[in-house]
Amino acid sequence: MVGMKKRNLIVANWKMNPSSLLEAKGLFSTTKKVASTLKNTDVVICPPFVFLESLAKTTRPKNLTLGAQNISSERKGAFTGEISGEMVRKLEGRYVIIGHSERRSSVFGVGETDKIVNAKMLVALESGLIPILCVGEKERDGDASYLSFIKEQLRAGLLNLSKKDLVGIIVAYEPIWSIGKSYKETMSPTDIHEMSLFIKKSIGEIYGRDIGNSAKVLYGGSVEKENTENIMRYGDVYGLLVGHSSLIAEEFANILKLADIK
């Protein structure tokens, strides 16, 4: 929008950590302190569901919000063990990560298909949550077929979203081969830049050029303090999705400060 300043978005995916509410509160409280010093950055913490309510009850700076790592593809009813989008929203969750590769995986996760991911996107929006759609290839092949794989994940994940919801959609590009490693083994800012352009172009080809250009691409996969600044500066990204480095208070504080560029 004209006159609107772009804000960076840094999302912390705590996954199944930490193991107690006490630790979760400690980590959250350090993050709050740092977040309150940032000028250009919004921070979203996605803790395990069980910590959401307690963390939401504490005071926090305006630029720090909470999110969930997943929601059910169903709205309500007899779905044992599931958590609905509405429940998350009522606990002051603002965002939700949808289709993370660990959930799409049938080895570690529940084997979420593109169809389920799409259903969750629709439920998230209906519940008033802001979805973060995760896409990413398992490996890179010589014939670049991973590009058509990503394009299909985007097409299927965003199916039946209204134009209003598609504008400014948040997509986290997380190549599976780069998750949970060290900054040394992950993607270069140049390659991230290329993928960010590819994602916007692909969304544009499927859903219209304006929508493609408005997409907010995050990068995730072994973001550490060492590669944060370069990815933010040269990766053409709107922000970052941070896993293991968001669990170490000091490391995450550094990441937030380094990412807080104009």
Q: Are 229 and 259 in contact (CB under 8 A)?
A: yes
Amino acid at 98: I
Give the number of residues written for the chain.
Answer: 262
**Could you confirm whether 174 is annotated as catalytic?**
yes
- Give the pair of three-digit tokens for residue 229: 């600044």
Please report how close the Cβ of residue 178 comes to ligand PGA at its closest, in angstroms: 7
Active site residue 100: yes
Of 74 and 226, which has the nearer Cβ to ligand PGA? 226
Q: In the complex with ligand PGA, which residue's Cβ is closer, 157 or 212?
A: 157
> What residues between 88 and 147 interact with ligand PGA by CB under 6 A?
none
Provide the sign of the torsion angle of the four alpha carbons 8, 18, 247, 178, taken in this order.
negative
Give the pair of three-digit tokens for residue 85: 């989008």
CA 154: distance to chain centroid? Answer: 14
CA atoms within 13 A on the CB side of 58: 20
Residue 242 as a binder of ligand PGA (CB under 6 A): the answer is yes
241 binds ligand PGA (CB under 6 A): yes
Per-residue binding string, ligand PGA, 190-229, x by CB under 6 A, is ------------------------------xxxx------
Residue 128 tokens read as 């008033």
CA–CA gap between residue 206 and residue 122 (Å, rounded): 18
Q: Using CB under 6 A, which of the segments 2-10, 36-44, 121-129, 174-182 binds ligand PGA?
A: 174-182
Nearest approach in angstroms of CB 97 to ligand PGA is 8
Residue 226 beta carbon to ligand PGA: minimum distance, rounded to whole angstroms:
13
Which residues, in sequence order, are bridge partners of residue 220?
241
The residue range among 55-63, 87-95, 239-247, 252-260 that interacts with ligand PGA, by the rule CB under 6 A, is 239-247
Among 48, 61, 180, 208, binds ligand PGA (CB under 6 A): 180
Q: Which residue is nearest to ligand PGA (CB)?
A: 243
CB atoms within 10 A of CB 239: 26
φ/ψ of 64, rounded to 5, equals -120, 120
Tell whether residue 179 is a contact of ligand PGA (CB under 6 A): yes
Q: How far is the CB of 174 from ligand PGA (least distance, A)?
A: 6
Give the C-alpha separation, 219 to 217, whole Å. Answer: 7
Chain center to CA of 84: 18
User: What is the size of the binding site for ligand PGA (CB under 6 A)?
Assistant: 13
Q: Which of 102, 112, 137, 174 is catalytic?
A: 174
Strands (E) in 127-222, as ranges, are 130-135, 170-173, 216-220
Tell me the closest approach of the beta carbon of residue 24 to ligand PGA, in angstroms. 17
- Which residues are catalytic, by number? 100, 174
Footprint on this chain of ligand PGA (rule: CB under 6 A): 13, 174, 179-180, 220-223, 241-245
